[in-house]
Amino acid sequence: MLILGIETSCDETAAAVVKDGREVVSNIIASQTDIHSVYGGVVPEIASRAHTEAICGVVSKALDAAAVTLEDIDCIAITYCPGLIGALLTGLSYAKGLSFASGKPLIPVHHIRGHVAANYLVHAELKPPFVALVVSGGHTSLLKVNNYTDYDSIGQTRDDAAGEAFDKAARMLGLPYPGGAIMDKLASQGDKNAIKFTVSSVDGAEMDFSFSGLKTALINLVHNHKARTGNAELDECFMADIAASYTEALVRTITSRLRILLERDSSLPIVLAGGVAANSHLRRAVGELADSFGVNHYLPPLSLCGDNAAMIAAQGYFEYISGAAAPLALNAFATKSV
C-alpha cells in the first residue's frame, strides 16, 4: 500500500511516499529556515504564505521521486494538528483538494504520532507497546504507545518545549536561529560541570516537565556576566561551558522522568522522537539510561528527527488500516491531545 504524506504544521513544507508504513519511497522537504532566521523565530503568517507557494511543487517532486502518479497512491495522509493554525490549514486544504479530485481517502495524522512513527521507518522490529519521548521545537511529551493508534499521555511540558529552550538559549548567546544543532556542537566543547543549573520539577506532577526556570537562569547568568565584565560579547570558552552545563541540566530534566518510569516498570522499550532527538547528548543519555535498566531503546536517524512527511505517511498507514479516513469537512487544530 502506498501512502502520500503531507506535512505543513510549522516551517517545513514536506511531502513523501511511504510503502506499508515502513519503507520510505521518496521524501521531499522544503525548509523555510532561511526565511525565518532573520526574525529569530518562525513568523506564522510568513510560514503559511511560504507553504502556499511551495506545496504544489513539493508534492509533485515527491511523486516524481517515487516514480508514481496520484493514481498509484492508496490514500493521502495529512498533518491536521497540532501546530501553527494557518500553516496547518494550508496543507490540509491542499490535501482535501487532492483527495476530492482523485477520490483517494483523506487520513488525518496527529503530528506527535507522526514523530513517533519516524522510528517505524528504520526499526523494522519496533512494534507497540512502548514508551515514547517526543522532544521537539513545539512539544515535550512522555507517552505510552499502547498500539499504533492508541496513546496515553504520561507527562508533558508545562511551559516551553525542549527545542524552544535550546533555541532561546542559543539566541541569548548570540547564535543564529534555530540554535538547537549549534548548541549541541558547542556543548561538546565545554565543561558540563562549569555552571550549576537546577534540574526542575513540577509540584504534584512528577512526570511533567518545565524548562522556563532553566531559561531564566541562563538569561540572568548572561546579563550578570556582561554587567560585571563590561563586555557585550561572551568569550568562546565561556559560551561552550554555558552550552555544556545548560544541555546537561536540560538532558537530566528529561531523563529524570524516564528514570522514575523505569524504576516502576522496565518492561517496555523506549523510543525517542522529534527534532531534539537529534541532540547527541540526549541520545547518549537515553541510551545509557536504557542500558542500565536492561531495556531496548530506539533512536530515529538524524534525517528523520526534524519535521518531514515520511513520518506522517508512516503513521497515516496505521491510521488508515484502523479505519480513520476523514470527511472533507475535516478541520485543523492548533492544539489537540495525542
Does residue 128 contact residue 146 with C-beta atoms inside 8 Å? yes
| Nearest of 127, 131, 123, 36 to residue 87 by alpha carbon | 36
Binding mask 290-329 toward Zn ion (x if CB under 5 A, else -) reads -----------------x----------------------
Q: Which does 91 bind (CB under 5 to 8 A by kind): Zn ion, ligand KG4, none?
A: none
Residue 235 three-state SS: coil
Q: Which does 163 bind (CB under 5 to 8 A by kind): Zn ion, ligand KG4, none?
A: ligand KG4
Helix then strand count (H, E) for the chain reads: 10, 10
* Interacting residues of 114 by C-beta distance below 8 A, sequence separation 6+: 7, 79, 311, 312, 314, 315
- Taking CA atoms, 89 is separated from 69, 70, 200, 286, in Å, by 24, 21, 36, 35
* Interacting residues of 125 by C-beta distance below 8 A, sequence separation 6+: none
| Nearest of 143, 145, 167, 186 to residue 281 by alpha carbon | 186
Q: From the CB of 187, what's the least distance to Zn ion, in Å?
A: 22
Question: What are the φ and ψ backbone dihedral angles of 10, each rounded to 5 degrees?
Answer: -140, -110
Q: From the CB of 125, what's the least distance to Zn ion, in Å?
A: 24
Q: Applying CB under 6 A, which part among 120-128, 163-171, 202-210, 219-227 lies near ligand KG4?
A: 163-171
Which triple of cell numbers denotes residue 54? 511551495
Q: Is residue 82 near ligand KG4 by the rule CB under 6 A? A: no
- Cα–Cα distance between 267 and 129 in angstroms, integer? 10
Q: Which does 167 bind (CB under 5 to 8 A by kind): ligand KG4, Zn ion, none?
A: ligand KG4
Binding mask 117-156 toward Zn ion (x if CB under 5 A, else -) reads -------------------x--------------------
Q: Is residue 276 near ligand KG4 by the rule CB under 6 A? A: yes
Indicate if the alpha-carbon torsion angle 11, 168, 282, 318 is positive or negative: negative
**How many residues form the binding site for Zn ion (CB under 5 A)?**
2
Q: From the CB of 253, what's the least distance to ligand KG4, in Å?
A: 13
Among 180, 190, 269, 316, binds ligand KG4 (CB under 6 A): 180
Q: Is residue 5 near ligand KG4 by the rule CB under 6 A? A: no
Q: From the CB of 274, what's the least distance to ligand KG4, in Å?
A: 5
Tell me which residues touch Zn ion (CB under 5 A): 136, 307
Tell me which residues touch ligand KG4 (CB under 6 A): 10, 136-138, 163, 166-167, 178-181, 184, 274-276, 278-279, 306-307
